[in-house]
Amino acid sequence: MKFLDLARVYIRSGGGGAGCVSFRREKFVEFGGPDGGDGGNGGNVWAEAVEGLNTLIDYRYQQHFFAKSGQPGMGSQKTGKTADDVVLKVPLGTEILDEDEETVIADLVNPGDRVLLARGGNGGWGNLRFKSSTNRAPARANPGQDGVERTIWLRLKLIADAGLVGLPNAGKSTFLAAVSNARPKIADYPFTTLVPNLGVVGVDGHEFVMADIPGLIEGASEGRGLGTQFLAHVERCKVLLHLVDGTSSTITADYRTIVTELEAYSDVLGDKPRILALNKTDAMDAKQISDRRRALEKASGGTVHVISGVSGKGLTDVLRVLYARINPPEEKVTEGQPWQP
């Protein structure tokens, strides 16, 4: 299944049915009077978040969704039938944007979340509605209201607990394959990953979802490479795992490149908690590991985890740190001790 995270959709709700002008025509009834019924309401257009979807590819091949109009009213006080609603099924984490691609109409995160995108027109009144003491035989009825037509954008932001970031060929796909059942494409050249991948990671009996996005390069926040196209998919993550290729001779510059691009993209990503890991240590000797780890710690001012996606070295420890950030343990307050915020 192809991955698509942005789609433009044209929608139109149904118009209301027209009211009916009718009079009773019965044998032995001298003054029948009006009996025209109201028209039915037009169909609405909804968007609903459902489980089991992780792409918007269906909306590449069908972009027009038009609800039907309500049925006109009929004689004998018969109201027209209301048209069926049209429901757009979208993956969890889909944002509904207005035509300007900036105004957020709704953010559908939980299963069953719904939003009304276009309300159907009301049905028109039949002439029975206009009967009064001074107008016993009204010969007028209202037309139904027109439907609403608009253009919207669907933008998918994958829902994951942790996100993998790093330069191309930093070993992100290898890491995801080593800690989950995901099978992303792995090769020894940059930009192997062209679309985000999701994997369910388990550690100490707990599970969380991890997202691997295509590698970032310098200038990604300005549109270079594939970075800006997929950085939105890690905005919802609670923590980021920043992988640095330990075999690179410019690891501090590599580290700063990713941090700069994250901060330039948005304040949300710039302020998000990050775990830093020195990867590919299976191809390094002890002195290289020690020197480059110290260099990264000096550049980042924090802890650097030493791991290898190929040999499995340090993977469990870094997964435990990630899970602790995703689900921080609750602090216990001793009885009688004042609580400190």
Cβ-based neighbours of 250, under 8 Å, separated by 6 or more: none
Binding-site annotation: residue ranges for Mg(2+): 173, 193
Give the pLDDT confidence score for residue 330 in this predicted structure: 62
Give the pLDDT confidence score for residue 334 in this predicted structure: 47
Confidence of residue 136 (pLDDT cuts 50, 70, 90): confident
Give the pLDDT confidence score for residue 144 in this predicted structure: 92
Query: Which of the residue ranges 48-52, 118-122, 129-133 has the most confident prediction, judged by mean pLDDT?
Result: 118-122
Per-domain residue ranges of the chain:
1-156, 162-326
Confidence of residue 224 (pLDDT cuts 50, 70, 90): low
- Here the tokens at position 308 are 């290898």
What residue ranges in 122-218 does DSSP mark as E strands?
149-156, 162-165, 197-203, 206-212
Confidence of residue 182 (pLDDT cuts 50, 70, 90): low
Give the pLDDT confidence score for residue 332 in this predicted structure: 47
DSSP class of 157: -
- Check: CB of residue 156 under 8 Å from CB of residue 57: no
Give the pLDDT confidence score for residue 223 in this predicted structure: 55
Convert the pLDDT of each residue in 58-94 to its tens digit.
898 899 999 999 999 999 889 999 999 999 999 998 9
Q: Which CATH superfamily is domain 162-326 in?
A: P-loop containing nucleotide triphosphate hydrolases (3.40.50.300)
Cβ-based neighbours of 12, under 8 Å, separated by 6 or more: 45, 65, 66, 67, 118, 147, 148, 149, 150
d(CA 323, CA 326): 5
Binding-site annotation: residue ranges for GTP: 166-173, 191-195, 212-215, 279-282, 308-310
Of 86, 122, 61, residue with least CA distance to 11? 86
Ramachandran assignment for 314, one of left (phi > 0), alpha (psi -120 to 50 degrees), beta (any other)? left
The average pLDDT across 265-271 equals 80
Confidence of residue 123 (pLDDT cuts 50, 70, 90): very high
- Check: CB of residue 199 under 8 Å from CB of residue 278: no
* pLDDT exceeds cutoff 60 at 186: no
CATH architecture type of domain 1-156: Distorted Sandwich (2.70)
* pLDDT exceeds cutoff 90 at 27: no
Computed over every residue of the chain, the mean pLDDT equals 84
Give the pLDDT confidence score for residue 265 in this predicted structure: 79
Give the pLDDT confidence score for residue 190 in this predicted structure: 46
Cβ-based neighbours of 313, under 8 Å, separated by 6 or more: 281, 282, 306, 307
Give the pLDDT confidence score for residue 341 in this predicted structure: 38
The DSSP code sequence of 233-288 is GGTT-SEEEEEEETT-S-HHHHHHHHHHHHHHH-HHHHTS-EEEEEE-GGGS-HHH
Query: Of residues 340 and 298, which shows the higher confidence score?
Result: 298
d(CA 139, CA 48): 43
* pLDDT exceeds cutoff 80 at 46: yes
d(CA 99, CA 262): 27
Q: Is 186 exposed, middle or buried (0-12, 13-18, 19+ CB in 10 A)?
A: middle
d(CA 233, CA 196): 8
* pLDDT exceeds cutoff 90 at 11: yes
Convert the pLDDT of each residue in 275-295 to its tens digit.
999 998 888 889 998 999 999
* pLDDT exceeds cutoff 60 at 14: yes
- What is the helix, strand, coil percentage profile of the chain, to 5? 20, 25, 55
d(CA 85, CA 42): 8
Binding-site annotation: residue ranges: 166-173, 191-195, 212-215, 279-282, 308-310
Of 82, 106, 85, residue with least CA distance to 13? 85
Instruction: Give the total residue count for the chain.
Output: 341
The model's pTM is: 0.74
